[in-house]
């Protein structure tokens, strides 16, 4: 019995770990050798899709000890073709299932590799995104600092704008004051010009009056000379004296001395002459000149009939 067991090849069994190791090594799955030459084991074979012989209610008679040992040996020696065929069919089914699982596992490996590549690319993208995020944070910090600086500058600009507005208001006030002063200066200049014109007119009037006075003085000197000659002539006619004395000019003897030498009887006559001259001048109508001023009268020459 020991020799028969030693000569028979052992049946190879595949565990789940063996299947996974085969799939990990990417090797084809070896097919199990058929167990036709292998005698069945002592344990009862599993029934697959075929019922076993109906069990009898009768119990077999107990065999003697040598028969009990010989019966299993006889059962092992006798080949059971039906059980072997069923085992081969089951093994082929398992092998096909293993191949299918191997294919699925290979597909899963490819998918895992693709996903790992995607994960690596995504990790690289994540790293770049983190770097960009840090750069954006740095930029945000710099932008915030610049915003704070801009706000400070805006506050300074607002203060300067208020100062500029105040200065502009002060400048406008000063310009208004300057305009008022310019208007006042213009008014003063106009008043000065008017005063100068009035002074010039007054000076012209004074010059005219001075000319009139000079003319009147000349007329008075002529009239006094004529009066002196007439009085001398009349005095000589009354005294019947010869008219040999020269006539004195006003330069040699002024009119006041002539009046002193006149007789007292003729003083009324001279006063009457001047009264008649003043009345004649008062009776003459005064012509209106420019700007409502009276036009100066024309000087009259003394005549003999006025005397």
pLDDT in tens, 290-299: 554 555 555 5
Position 281 pLDDT exceeds 80: no
What pLDDT does 293 receive?
53
What pLDDT does 233 receive?
77
pLDDT in tens, 23-78: 555 444 444 444 444 444 444 444 444 444 444 444 444 444 444 444 455 455 44
Query: Best-predicted range by mean pLDDT among 4-8, 129-133, 258-262?
Result: 129-133
What pLDDT does 216 receive?
87
Average pLDDT, rounded, for the chain? 70
Going by C-alpha positions, the residue among 302, 131, 109, 108 that lies closest to residue 217 is 302
Tell me the pLDDT band of 277, cut-offs 50, 70 and 90.
low
What pLDDT does 105 receive?
93
Give me the helices (H) in the chain, please: 2-7, 16-24, 65-77, 81-239, 255-261, 267-283
Tokens 């300067």 sit at which residue?
Answer: 160
What pLDDT does 202 receive?
86
Position 101 pLDDT exceeds 90: yes
- Give the whole-number percent of the chain exceeding pLDDT 70: 52
Q: pTM score, two decimals? A: 0.28
Tokens 């167990």 sit at which residue?
Answer: 35
Lowest mean pLDDT among 81-95, 193-207, 230-244, 265-279: 265-279
Position 15 pLDDT exceeds 70: no
What pLDDT does 16 receive?
60
CA angle 260, 263, 268 (to 5 degrees): 95
Position 199 pLDDT exceeds 80: yes
What pLDDT does 298 receive?
54
pLDDT in tens, 141-197: 989 999 999 999 999 998 888 899 898 999 999 999 999 999 999 999 998 888 888
Segment 295-304 shows an average pLDDT of 52
What pLDDT does 20 receive?
62
Segment 126-147 shows an average pLDDT of 90
**Coil vs helix vs strand at 100:** helix
Position 215 pLDDT exceeds 80: yes
Asked if 102 and 23 touch (Cβ cutoff 8 Å), the reply is yes
What pLDDT does 55 receive?
42
**In Å, how far are 98, 205, 220 from 281, measured between CA atoms?**
164, 19, 15
């Amino acid at each position: 019995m020991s020799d028969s067991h030693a000569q028979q090849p052992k049946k190879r069994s595949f565990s789940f770990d063996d299947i996974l190791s085969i799939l990990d090594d990417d090797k084809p799955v070896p097919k199990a050798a058929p167990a036709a030459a292998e005698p069945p084991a002592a344990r009862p074979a599993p029934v697959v899709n075929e019922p076993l012989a109906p069990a009898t209610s009768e119990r077999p008679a107990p065999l003697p000890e040598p028969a009990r040992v010989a019966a299993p040996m006889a059962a092992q020696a006798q080949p059971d073709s039906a059980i072997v065929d069923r085992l081969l069919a089951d093994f082929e089914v398992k092998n096909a299932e293993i191949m299918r699982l191997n294919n699925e596992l290979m597909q899963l490996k490819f998918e895992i590799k693709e996903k790992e590549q995607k994960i690596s690319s995504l990790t690289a993208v994540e790293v770049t995104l983190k770097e960009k995020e840090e750069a954006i944070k740095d930029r945000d910090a710099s932008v915030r600092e610049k915003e704070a600086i801009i706000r400070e500058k805006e506050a300074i600009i607002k203060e300067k704008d208020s100062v500029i507005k105040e200065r502009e208001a002060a400048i406008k006030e000063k310009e208004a004051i300057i305009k008022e002063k310019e208007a006042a200066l213009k008014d003063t200049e106009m008043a000065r010009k008017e005063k100068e014109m009035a002074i010039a007119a007054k000076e012209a009037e004074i010059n005219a009056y001075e000319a009139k006075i000079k003319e009147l003085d000349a007329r008075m000197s002529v009239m006094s000379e004529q009066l002196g000659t007439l009085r001398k002539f009349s005095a000589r006619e009354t005294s019947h004296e010869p008219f040999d004395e020269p006539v004195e000019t006003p330069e040699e003897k002024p009119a006041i001395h002539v009046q002193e030498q006149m007789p007292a009887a003729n003083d009324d006559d001279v006063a009457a002459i001047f009264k008649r001259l003043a009345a004649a001048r008062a009776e003459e109508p005064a012509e209106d000149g420019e700007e409502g001023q009276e036009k100066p009268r024309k000087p009259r020459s003394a005549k003999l009939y006025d005397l």
